[in-house]
Amino acid sequence: MPTDQELRDEMLHKLYEQRHNADGWVMLPDGLVLDGWTDSVKINILRQLRHFGVAEWQRAGRRPFAGRARITPDGVHDIEGSQAVIPPIELAMSQAHPTHTLLVWLAFVAGTVFAIIGVVLVYLGAIGDTQIDLWGAKISTSSVGIAAIFIGAVLILRTFRRVLDSVDKS
């Protein structure tokens, strides 16, 4: 199966080939013949080309792929020039150490267990004056169940905040 980059290149070249006809506009779907492409793939690729500013697309009618499209000057430059306008889409993902992954999952499970126990304790009506100061988050309540839910929520939120902070830094 071709990548989106290959599909974008193919569609952009088709629009490039027809840039001198009808002020560059290609009537859709008949004017843009792409064998084996479904309408949803064509729409997705046109949206990507429009997002990168290398093609214009105007929908018309009720059919999903009806309307017209044309290549923009940036798209022509992308094909004729030496510098690509459409950057390849790459996801930079680092692998977490297995120990860190385990700790995150354990913290999530522990937080969930605390929250479930808290719901049960609230249902059972367990009471007792409780004050908790956990990582700067404070609560004062007479319900033990509410305190357990609070601990679970703080644990889960703190863990995810730390994970997101470490992802931002990588």
Q: What is the pLDDT of residue 58?
A: 77
Between CA 18 and CA 15 the distance in angstroms is: 5
Q: 163: burial class by Cβ within 10 Å (0-12, 13-18, 19+)?
A: middle
Task: Write the pLDDT tens digit of every residue in 83-113.
Answer: 555 555 555 555 667 787 888 888 889 889 9
Stretch 4-18: mean pLDDT: 80
Quote the radius of gyration of the chain (alpha carbons, Å): 27
Task: Write the pLDDT tens digit of every residue in 26-73.
Answer: 777 666 667 777 777 777 888 888 888 888 877 776 766 677 788 888
Between CA 10 and CA 23 the distance in angstroms is: 20
Q: What is the pLDDT of residue 96?
A: 66
Task: Using a pLDDT cut of 90, give the percent of the chain over it.
Answer: 3
User: Over 70: is that where the pLDDT of 20 sits?
Assistant: yes
Architecture category of domain 4-80 in CATH: Orthogonal Bundle (1.10)
Between CA 28 and CA 38 the distance in angstroms is: 13
Nearest residue to 15 (alpha-carbon basis) of 48, 61, 38: 48
Compare 91 and 143 and report the one with higher pLDDT.
Answer: 143
Q: Return the domain boundaries, the chain.
A: 4-80, 98-169
Write down the residue that tokens 């290959």 correspond to: 6
Highest averaged pLDDT of the listed ranges 67-71, 126-130, 143-147: 143-147
